Structure 1
Amino acid sequence: MWKKSSVVSFVFVSLTAVIVGCSGGDTGKQQTAPSPEPEKAMVSIDQLENKSPITLKIWTGANEILWKNTIEDPIKKKFPNITLERVPLQQNTLEKLIAAGNPPDIIHGSKNHMILQVMPTKMQFDHTELIKKYNYDLGRLAPELLQSIKAFGDKGQMYGFPNTRVLYGLLYNKQLFDRFAVPYPKDGMTWDEAIQLAKRMTRNENGVQYLGMELPFYSIIPSQLNLEVIDRNDKASLSKWSRGAAVSKQIYDIPGNQGPLFGNLAQSYDPFYKQTLAMLPSSLDTMFGAAKNYPDLQWDLVTMPTLPEAPNTDPYMNYSFFAVTPMTPHKEEAFKVIAHLLSDEVQTQMVRKGYPTVLKNTDIQKQFAAEVPELQGKNLQAPFKNKQSDPFVSKYFDSSVDLLAKNAFIKIMKGQGDINTNLREVDEAIDKKVAELKK
């Protein structure tokens, strides 16, 4: 996920000094009250009290272009005395930075980084007091993202602020649908309807095998039911995934529709770029980023297909977040940097460049990708129509557990054993792996 225009000001609070009136008692002489002290207003959230040069280290997954355009430049313009130092998270774990005595001042990571790196190293910081001090309006944020952030704390602590989010949708190739005289997909489809379209689009023509639809991730459909891999009691929970697994298998069971299974995004997108794949339900940042490289590809998107028991629900919520660290000596400055990056002004700039906003302001949301020429004319509001699920992610959900789950789904897709048996067996394997990780 690495990768407004009326500006709404932040609401902030001012502290006023108390004016004390004095009386000299019963002396018979009139007493003159001292002049009131001048009001002392607290420095607002969009002002820095310290004007001295400050360097803030940000641990981030943003590449250099994203860093410059969406983080460094906005802060340099707003707070010229602050220098931001980029600390790439790809080469630096929090554990190593802490051990070296060089912890960051701000964390910019994904939801999974909070679970797998921030909290295990006790680098989470509750921003509640700073939020109260500056009367920061949390109501500006999308409520589902705010709820997800608060769920990290056992008492609803605010351990960070969402910055941008992953969007989902069903990509489709307009040329293929036109060639085979099949109606385009539409917003609001169920998986049953999408699978029927996939059946009509799957065919072999002139020696070329065309696939109707492919799933890039094994968890896309089950996650729409808000199902976790490992539950809050550290027990594997894939036995509950039989419904999602059965629907996923229907796609792979379409005769001639046997594409690569859950390899990586590049493998899934390759046939779409080569115009042999008609539909691809996926996160959308890859297509948005690659669109300029495929000017002849006539594609569009609709909402992600959904299940009747979870209407209007997309796959698992994912987002990047900013957070002040407990070890920084510049907590207020770091907080104000984050607040500015979440301002209507900066979020609008990001949105227009194709980075989805985390604000609930629909006027800003409607400007999504307005400055991205290759995305003009696309159904860009479709990804905002559904809510996203937010299944619990365990700190034990590492790459080895992910591989166990993926391999179980590959067996299911290929018909190697029945669904319930495969899911029960992988639960046993994951429980064993979790026990090893706990040691």
Structure 2
Amino acid sequence: MKRLFTAVCLLGTVALTACGGGKEDGQPEKQAKQVKEAPEPFTMTIYAAGVKPEEFDSRFRKALESKFPHVTFKFRTSGKGSSIQELVAQGDIPDLIRTDIPSLKTSYIDLGLAYDLREQLNVHNYSTSRFNPVFVQEIVDVVKTGELYGLPVPPYFPQVLYYNKDLFDKFGQPYLKDGMRWDEVYELAKKLTRVDGDRIYRGFSAGTIALLRDNPYSQPILDPKTDRLANPDVWKTLFENLKRFYDIPNNTIAKTAVEEGAVFGQGRVAMQVNQYSIYVNLPPELNWDIVSAPAMDGAPKLMPQRGPAYWSITKQSKYKSEAFQAIMTMLSEEVQMQDSRGGIPTTLASKEIAANLGKDHPVYSKKNTGAVNYYAPIPPTAKREAGLADVPLGTQQNLVANTFQKVATGEMDINTALNDISEKLRKEVEKEKSK
């Protein structure tokens, strides 16, 4: 009878329950329940220089706290006494840091924070193919030894052509369209540069710092291999193309490169090539729109752009796996769709997300945001070869823009200007070598 009883009890869960209290070979029946322990709570610190806490909260906090209820996310940004250099000196090192290409070396690698994300890619079976490849390429190129120190976080800043619709109406010109060339823009600039009574209306302006740095050839300033200006012939073409606009009578460039980038918002400039950005504060009364950046003969039909920032993990973090999962959440399709609909261009390769750019933004929902994605982003500029002294990008871009300023005002001819840039770059490299 004992054998029969045992056999019946083994028929299934229902029978086993009905036999309650049964014993086999005198041993109590063990329950098969497994209780999943709740993860231990901890605090993860995220540092992003220049990002307001309100922006971090609106873009990322809800998604993070929903996904990781056991984690307290402490956000820090730059300010007095809280630069990343000061935090590192105090031993107060964050788990996650938002890096960018110009400061990757000085504010991440040289501070001893660098951590290769390839380990986490393998652990979490995460593919970088979901991103636009040019953004991943740039952070790999800047290191040159194979490490991946970050994943691209929006926004990036593509070049577009802004135009003042009221001035086009005033002077009887049809509105701009995507896919225009520089020569077409030049002819329009001549027509739209007018003197009306005591007012001068300029046909064209440019954010010269961004335009020259993020140029249609993706041409670097400092040569990747030698201590001089890279490819002066290409730079001559870029200078000549831009200078002709400032040779138009009454289309005089502003006193400084910074002022030139700001004149469009004053309402007396018909067109301006500059970066697309929801952080640009144009007056609400300005009746403007955008089209794709003009294409240049001989240059690739791609969109010049200033690349994104990157989410990076510090090697000192005790929570590297959790930090990578936080990055996965902040760069997810859901979060990037929210970003895109809010007017922030995506770093993902998703055409659907790109197509939703600005749909929920109070201003950009009424603009031609398709201009941003009319051309694919151009590959990043070539970086200095490993082992060579480099010059901070900020120094390079200001040198080029300020020298062009002298060309545009007639203080210096183009050949002299390019030679001057090359010599000053050489001196800057020597300074870096002596550090």
2:140 matched to 1:150? yes
CA–CA separation in structure 1 for the residues paired with 2:383 and 2:175: 35
Describe the shift of the 1:390–1:183 C-alpha distance in structure 2 as closer, same or farther (beyond 3 A): same
Aligned-residue CA RMSD (Å)? 2.4
C-alpha distance after superposition, 1:279-318 (max 9, x if no partner): 11111215x6535x51x32211100012111132233432
Please say if residues 301 and 382 of structure 1, whose CA atoms lie closer than 8 Å, have aligned partners that are also in contact: yes
Number of the residue aligned with 2:43: 55
**Is the radius of gyration larger for structure 1 or structure 2?**
2
1:193 to 169, 184, 195: 184
Please say if residues 45 and 75 of structure 2, whose CA atoms lie closer than 8 Å, have aligned partners that are also in contact: yes
Describe the shift of the 1:150–1:437 C-alpha distance in structure 2 as closer, same or farther (beyond 3 A): closer
Please say if residues 209 and 257 of structure 2, whose CA atoms lie closer than 8 Å, have aligned partners that are also in contact: no
Please say if residues 209 and 397 of structure 2, whose CA atoms lie closer than 8 Å, have aligned partners that are also in contact: no
1:359 to 331, 338, 348: 348
Please say if residues 212 and 279 of structure 1, whose CA atoms lie closer than 8 Å, have aligned partners that are also in contact: yes
Please say if residues 313 and 388 of structure 1, whose CA atoms lie closer than 8 Å, have aligned partners that are also in contact: yes
Describe the shift of the 1:421–1:289 C-alpha distance in structure 2 as closer, same or farther (beyond 3 A): closer
CA–CA separation in structure 2 for the residues paired with 1:345 and 1:339: 11
Question: Secondary structure of the equivalent of 1:112?
Answer: coil
Please say if residues 209 and 398 of structure 2, whose CA atoms lie closer than 8 Å, have aligned partners that are also in contact: no
Please say if residues 99 and 108 of structure 2, whose CA atoms lie closer than 8 Å, have aligned partners that are also in contact: no
C-alpha distance after superposition, 1:120-177 (max 9, x if no partner): 3242221112101111122211121122222233243221100112232100011111
2:60 matched to 1:68? no
1:409 to 396, 404, 411: 404
Superposition map of 1:274-423 within 5 A:
274-285=266-277, 289-290=280-281, 293-294=283-284, 296-386=285-375, 387-392=377-382, 395-397=390-392, 399-423=394-418
Please say if residues 97 and 314 of structure 2, whose CA atoms lie closer than 8 Å, have aligned partners that are also in contact: yes
2:160 matched to 1:172? no
Amino acid at match of 1:214: S
Shift of 1:94: 3.1
CA–CA separation in structure 2 for the residues paired with 1:245 and 1:128: 41
Number of the residue aligned with 1:123: 113
The alignment of Structure 1 onto Structure 2 pairs a total of residues equal to: 389
Comparing 157-166 and 52-61, the one that deviates more: 52-61
Shift of 1:234: 5.5
Describe the shift of the 1:144–1:366 C-alpha distance in structure 2 as closer, same or farther (beyond 3 A): same
Any unmatched runs of 5+ in structure 1?
1-37, 44-48
Shift of 1:262: 4.7
Amino acid at match of 2:225: N
Describe the shift of the 1:95–1:142 C-alpha distance in structure 2 as closer, same or farther (beyond 3 A): same
Number of the residue aligned with 2:124: 134
Comparing 308-317 and 415-424, the one that deviates more: 308-317
Amino acid at match of 2:55: L
C-alpha distance after superposition, 1:252-293 (max 9, x if no partner): 1111001315532x6533x4233201011111215x6535x5
Please say if residues 215 and 261 of structure 1, whose CA atoms lie closer than 8 Å, have aligned partners that are also in contact: no
Please say if residues 60 and 107 of structure 1, whose CA atoms lie closer than 8 Å, have aligned partners that are also in contact: yes
Question: Secondary structure of the equivalent of 2:303?
Answer: strand
TM-score normalised per structure 1: 0.82
1:236 to 225, 228, 239: 228
CA–CA separation in structure 2 for the residues paired with 1:129 and 1:366: 33
CA–CA separation in structure 1 for the residues paired with 2:79 and 2:177: 39
C-alpha distance after superposition, 1:46-92 (max 9, x if no partner): xxx97222212222031122111112222112212212222213543
Amino acid at match of 1:273: G
1:210 to 191, 195, 201: 201
CA–CA separation in structure 1 for the residues paired with 2:143 and 2:394: 24
Question: Secondary structure of the equivalent of 1:183?
Answer: coil
Please say if residues 59 and 339 of structure 2, whose CA atoms lie closer than 8 Å, have aligned partners that are also in contact: yes
TM-score normalised per structure 2: 0.83
CA–CA separation in structure 1 for the residues paired with 2:170 and 2:298: 34
Amino acid at match of 2:99: G
Describe the shift of the 1:159–1:188 C-alpha distance in structure 2 as closer, same or farther (beyond 3 A): same
Amino acid at match of 1:313: L
CA–CA separation in structure 2 for the residues paired with 1:391 and 1:85: 35
Shift of 1:399: 4.4
1:225 to 197, 214, 217: 217
